[in-house]
């Protein structure tokens, strides 16, 4: 039984079409990578899933419900959380305030403190910096805070947009490890949207390649990593 299924999704901004007939499935507990070059439509796909852009056609079903008529905040309350590209923390609020705001969508108030403790355990620097204004932290710390904020909603589906962008390799490794851990220990299904194709396919179990608005290739992550065309086009290897 798939947690998320997308069929025939089409999105356009005015006259310019961005996504054509996009379809994919995610089973519960999976980590799926959605990779592709800059401008392929990856972020638009996430915006369609979260309801931030109107769709021209297609069906999106999440946990048995049609997402179509639901507003972004309603989708969040049903268990879809997103780590947006560029983090987009509330810069003028503290780390703790950001994390608490992430908990708005959660179904139960009771587990909030436990989840806060879990986030602090995952990223101990957030505990140390909890009183700091989010806008004054380094990029890596901000990314940790953004992931923590999304986790505070206790989502069943976590969408991560460009988690590695602009971060040092050592930070990227830690964040990747945190994503794996969250998936393994909390059973959160993860959709990774990445320009860093190698990284995403290493973490994921399955992958989809989005090319100029269409899904062109899909399969198990290991197979995709071995394919000559993907190595040549996205990994710079021959």
Partner 1 sequence: MLWQATANGLLLGGLYGIATIGFSMVWGVMGVINLAHTGFIMLGAYITYGLFRFAGLDPIASIPVSMIAMFALGYALQVLVLNRIIRTSLLLSLVVTFGIELVMVDAVSIAFTSDVRSVNSSYAASSIEVFGILVPVVRLIAAGFSVTLGIAFFAFLRFTRAGQMILATALDREVSSLMGINPERIYALTAGAGAALAGATGSLASMLFPVMPGMGVTFLSAVFVITVLGGIGSVEGCIVAGFIYGLVQAWAGYFLGANYQEIVGFGLFLLVLALRPQGLFGRAFFGEHA
Give the nearest distance from C-beta 90 to partner 1 in angstroms.
Answer: 5
Query: Of residues 124, 135, 166, 187, which one binds partner 1 by CB under 8 A?
Result: 135
Nearest CA among 178, 113, 111, 104 for reference residue 141: 178
Q: For the purposes of burial, counting CB atoms within 10 Å of the CB of 42, is it exposed (0-12), middle (13-18) or buried (19 or more)? A: buried
Six-digit token pair at 103?
Answer: 């908990």
Across the beta sheet with 31-35, the strand order is 80-83, 157-161, 189-194, 31-35, 206-211, 214-220
Query: Of residues 63, 101, 165, 233, which one binds partner 1 by CB under 8 A?
Result: 101
Is residue 71 near partner 1 by the rule CB under 8 A? yes
Query: Of residues 36, 41, 58, 102, which one binds partner 1 by CB under 8 A?
Result: 102
Give the nearest distance from C-beta 49 to partner 1 in angstroms.
Answer: 11
Span from 35-43, 62-70, 101-109, 175-183 in contact with partner 1 (CB under 8 A): 101-109
- How far apart CA 176 and CA 198 sit, in angstroms, is 12
Rule CB under 8 A: which residues touch partner 1? 50-52, 71-73, 76-77, 81-82, 84, 88, 90-93, 97, 100-102, 104-106, 135, 149, 153
């Amino acid at each position: 039984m798939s947690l998320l299924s997308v069929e025939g999704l089409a999105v356009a901004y005015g006259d310019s079409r961005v996504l054509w007939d996009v379809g994919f499935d995610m089973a519960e507990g999976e980590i799926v990578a959605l990779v592709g070059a800059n401008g392929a439509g990856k972020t638009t796909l996430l915006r369609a899933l979260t309801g931030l852009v109107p769709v021209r056609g297609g069906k999106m079903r999440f946990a048995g419900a049609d997402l179509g008529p639901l507003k972004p905040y309603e989708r969040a309350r049903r268990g879809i959380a997103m780590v947006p590209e560029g983090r987009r923390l509330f810069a003028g609020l503290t780390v703790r305030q950001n994390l608490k705001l992430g908990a708005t969508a959660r179904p139960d108030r009771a587990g909030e403190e436990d989840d806060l403790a879990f986030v602090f355990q995952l990223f101990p620097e957030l505990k140390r910096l909890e009183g700091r204004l989010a806008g004054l932290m380094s990029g890596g710390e901000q990314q940790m805070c953004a992931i923590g904020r999304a986790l505070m909603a206790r989502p069943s589906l976590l969408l991560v947009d460009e988690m590695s962008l602009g971060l040092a390799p050592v930070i990227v490794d830690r964040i990747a490890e945190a994503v794996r851990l969250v998936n393994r220990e909390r059973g959160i299904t993860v959709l990774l949207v990445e320009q860093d194709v190698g990284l995403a396919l290493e973490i994921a179990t399955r992958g989809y390649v989005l090319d100029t608005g269409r899904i062109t290739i899909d399969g198990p992550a290991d197979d995709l990593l071995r394919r000559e065309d993907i190595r040549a086009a996205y990994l710079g290897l021959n």
